[in-house]
Structure 1
């Protein structure tokens, strides 16, 4: 099943993260995302601060719906940096890639 159509699951402390092999396979399925310091991240470029704030709201709604929350930062009133990592698992999980794929789908819909 395509990542953007999957639902996140609840991870508990001590649940294992993905292997490096699985991480790289999933990373290939989310264009624009890079692996940095064990997290996957992407910078979205928007028209202005209002568009960034609206995108923040979309990210927050998705995160709340899925129960999986990214680290988010707005820079220079045009850029939204998103970083994903599953803290309870101590690494990346399928949830991170599901959220990345869903955010990519929102980006192409704008």
Structure 2
């Protein structure tokens, strides 16, 4: 490896600044020119005349500081930074938690239930004498897959603290119904649990599709 030689040359008398000129003679590919009056610029020359650009920055000149140029920047005086925390309405139903429901609370109306129904998958509204209910059906591969789905639904419902009615019908069909019996209809808890159940993995339980050659 070639040794690097650093030499300092005296600055000409006519130069406006009395700084030594520094040259690095390790390789002809790198050169540090003398500082100029406006600012110090260090350019790295590589592969011929290709320039990589300026490095570093400069402090403002005294005249710029006296002019208070920063105060003239649009929005400098009234810029406000806020950290916004999403409220419940901004969260998806599956991210919300069930809360205790007072028996004095009115059930969700059918119009509001139809709007919330668009946020869950595979569920439908049932209007019965006891009030509105949510219902979902799963066609599974066999009886054992039905039992496994019921176990997965139970884990989700137990964590949420709100339980659906679950029926294992025929050899391979599971039916789940959600409603809040204490108010005789639907509450937000029913839609929250329905959304959480939607996230249960069922791809390994449903009948396999036939692939024809």
State the TM-score, normalized to the length of structure 1: 0.90
Q: Of the candidates 163, 186, 193, which is equivalent to residue 69 of structure 1?
A: 163
Between Structure 1 and Structure 2, which shows a larger proportion of helix residues? 1
Q: CA RMSD in A?
A: 1.5
Structure 1 runs not aligned, ≥5 long: none
Which residue in 1 is equivalent to 2:36?
A: none
Query: What is the alpha-carbon distance in structure 1 between the residues aligned to residue 203 and residue 190 of structure 2?
Result: 20
Matched-pair contact (CA < 8 Å) for 2:107–2:186? yes
Which residue in 2 is equivalent to 1:101?
A: 195
Query: What is the alpha-carbon distance in structure 2 between the residues aligned to residue 107 and residue 89 of structure 1?
Result: 31
Deviation at residue 12 of structure 1 after TM alignment: 2.5
Which residue in 2 is equivalent to 1:12?
A: 102
Number of aligned pairs?
A: 110
Matched-pair contact (CA < 8 Å) for 1:10–1:67? no
Deviation at residue 108 of structure 1 after TM alignment: 5.6
Query: What is the alpha-carbon distance in structure 1 between the residues aligned to residue 125 and residue 152 of structure 2?
Result: 23
Larger radius of gyration: 2
Q: 4+ residue stretches of structure 1 with deviation over 4 A? A: 107-110
State the TM-score, normalized to the length of structure 2: 0.49
Instruction: Please tell me whether residue 78 in structure 1 is matched to residue 172 in structure 2.
Output: yes
Matched-pair contact (CA < 8 Å) for 2:149–2:202? no
